[in-house]
Structure 1
Amino acid sequence: MRDRLRHLALLTGALAILPFHAKADYPERPITMIVAYGVGGQTDITARSLAPFIEKHLGPGARVITVNKPGAGGEIGFAALADAKPDGYTIGFINTPTIQTIPIERRARFTLDRLTPLVNIIDDPGVLIVRNDSPYKTLADLVAHAKANPLKVSIASTGVGSDDHLAILALQRQSKAQFLHIPFTTSIDNYRAMLNGNTAASATNIAEALRGVQSDPVRVLGVMAAARSPMAPNVPTFQEQGYNIVMGSMRGLAAPQDLSDEVKTKLVDAITKAANDPGFRKIAEDTFQPLRVLDPVTFATELRAGDDDFRALWTEAPWLAR
């Protein structure tokens, strides 16, 4: 009897410490990192270049697998992230403004409140680009032609409710011009439409534009930032050209709601170290990824502030009607 009690005590003690070992061993299996957009796009490039550095800083044996779930303007991927088990084995990139605008536009399969912001990585300001042989040498040229020829100047975007689309609408309101908005589902298709001459211009982000400038005959008419970009110091801002438009896309990592504090701390630490790793920062520089690393609290605060701003904008000027 005494031996049986001793055995039971040892077994109970062993079982009691198992959960702590499990937490200490995280991650014990591969982590899925969801990208809500297609392969080769700006978010995909960031994800695939960052993943090896997250593995490095999580420790020996860690694996991070990038999985693309494009569709519905990002809703499919965002919903998959929100619906995942909050165990730290599913994380994903969330992109402004679509992470905020989709639930405003329609009854979406996710909400911002169902996500746990971890670390923001990128803050990519918007730009407007044309082909080098375009008759529009400046933003003023493009606006003037659109005002004289309503709905004849086409501008491509990466979908309704995207930062590109909202920037086009802002330019319309401020200039009184009427552009023909042509939405695409990916940033690559948006860019190629302009490059192939199917649209007059492309509203996109500076990373996409500067990669294009390296090899394609394109010209950047303006950057939608509060100050000129260090990556393109010769390109004037929209504000310098008379339009108060500051628009772009933040891209950061999040997890499902109710992630444990222990796992969140480990993920945030590894992601932050990865984003600041000299190896990743060199890749980001070479691929024109504008880094802006934000901690979870700051990231969440900016997401909520943006959500409030877009809800106010929707009340004033619902973009689906434009």
Structure 2
Amino acid sequence: MQQQNKRRTLGALAALLAGAALFTGAAQAAGYPERPINLIVSYGPGGGTDLVARMMAPFLQKYLGGDARIVVLNRPGAGGAIGFAELARAQPDGYTIGFINTPNLLTIPIERKTSFTWQSFDLLGNLIDDPGAFSVLNDNPLKSLADLSAYAKKNPGKVTVGTTGTGSDDHLAMLRFERASGTKLSHIPYKGAGEVRGALAGGEITIGAINVGEALQYQKGGTPLRFLGQMGKTRSAALPDVPTFKEQGFDIELASLRGLAAPKGLPEDVRAKLVSAVKSTVDDPAFQAKAKDMFAPLRYLPPADYAKELAAGEAEFQQLWKEAPWLDK
């Protein structure tokens, strides 16, 4: 009898504690956000992700309501791995979110041991889908990918290509171009597209492997660059006169998805609030106008569709790694 009473007491206590936890969690979600939210960008200042993050912050603040304030934190290095790892290990309380960028998010865990994969995150929605491109300065005599191929064949290793890191879409594009053209290029990795732009403008590199939206922003800002080709499936609406790589005889299609995520394990109410704020931001006409002005090609994916896209991309890059590892040799 005494044993039964003890079990009943323990059961009642457990139920009371569970109810208290649920009440506390609901109260926290109802008051969220009550302090600033850190938004991690895994690349340096001035890159496409950084510029979009800072432009987007006021919209997220508006739709989160309350005392929302977004603080953008740049955590560049290792092709994005430093920022991705910091985001993955943060407390899953809704006060740390961040951009996750493909293919780096998918390729880095394939090429080396990491503390994260794309499944380390609660996905909040994808915002951007930006095709890759090769750019040169206006005074460069190279006018096309055929010119680049011919010059690189005559001058092995002399053409330097700036990218946002090993395993990035820029780097993979360079390696694919090497194989398709039978050339040897020299890879120069940087911590972000802003650094690549600076190196190109300063004459430190021959080719800037910079995504279309980013390159157009730099061009608008006064960097005298010219496109040799872009890597979309079709010509970009923003670049109707620039042929794709495929049109120029090189079967290369690569782009960068840029979406928002949080550490795995968010309280459901907090996650729902963040997902809703991201969707409302993308739907806001003022945000769309600013994104267009920044040449940021929007492509919203809700969390479930975003997960499917990341899973498919991961499988594709795993197969590619088996066939042709992309690490520099």
- TM-score norm. by structure 1 comes to 0.92
Aligned to 1:3: none
Q: Residue 50 of structure 1 contacts residue 275 of structure 1 at CA under 8 Å; is this kept in 2?
A: no
Aligned to 1:320: 327
Aligned to 1:288: 295
Aligned-residue CA RMSD in angstroms? 1.7
What is the SS of the residue equivalent to 2:79?
helix
Residue deviations 1:97-116 (CA, integer Å, cap 9, x gap): 11111111111132222111
Structure 2: any 5+ residue segments left out of the alignment?
Answer: 1-15
> After the TM superposition, which of the residue ranges 107-116 and 243-252 deviates more from structure 2?
107-116
> After the TM superposition, which of the residue ranges 106-115 and 235-244 deviates more from structure 2?
106-115
Taking the aligned partners of 2:23 and 2:290, their CA distance within structure 1 comes to 42
Aligned to 1:303: 310
Aligned to 1:69: 75
Q: Tell me if 1:29 matches 2:35.
A: yes
Residue deviations 1:199-229 (CA, integer Å, cap 9, x gap): 2111111122112222222110111000111
Q: Residue 25 of structure 2 contacts residue 267 of structure 2 at CA under 8 Å; is this kept in 1?
A: no
Residue deviations 1:238-286 (CA, integer Å, cap 9, x gap): 1111111111211100011122322211110011101221121111111
What is the SS of the residue equivalent to 2:312?
helix
1:58–1:317 distance in 2 versus 1, CA, 3 Å: same
Structure 1: any 5+ residue segments left out of the alignment?
Answer: 1-11
What is the SS of the residue equivalent to 2:76?
coil
Aligned to 1:91: 97
Aligned ranges 1:240-259 → 2 under 5 Å? 240-259=247-266
Q: Tell me if 1:189 matches 2:190.
A: no
What is the SS of the residue equivalent to 1:108?
coil
Q: Residue 75 of structure 1 contacts residue 109 of structure 1 at CA under 8 Å; is this kept in 2?
A: no
Aligned to 1:180: 186
Aligned to 1:56: 62
What is the SS of the residue equivalent to 2:210?
strand
The total of aligned residue pairs comes to 310
133, 140, 148: which one pairs with 1:142?
A: 148
1:177–1:93 distance in 2 versus 1, CA, 3 Å: same
Q: Tell me if 1:163 matches 2:143.
A: no
Shift of 1:61: 2.3
Shift of 1:17: 4.7
1:17–1:181 distance in 2 versus 1, CA, 3 Å: closer
Residue deviations 1:74-110 (CA, integer Å, cap 9, x gap): 1111111110111111111001111111111111132
Taking the aligned partners of 2:328 and 2:203, their CA distance within structure 1 comes to 26
Q: Tell me if 1:213 matches 2:222.
A: no
Taking the aligned partners of 1:63 and 1:183, their CA distance within structure 2 comes to 33
1:217–1:39 distance in 2 versus 1, CA, 3 Å: closer
Residue deviations 1:143-200 (CA, integer Å, cap 9, x gap): 1111222212222211111110000001111111111222222212212222222221
Aligned to 1:8: none
Shift of 1:60: 3.4
Aligned to 2:7: none
Residue identity matched to 1:145: Y
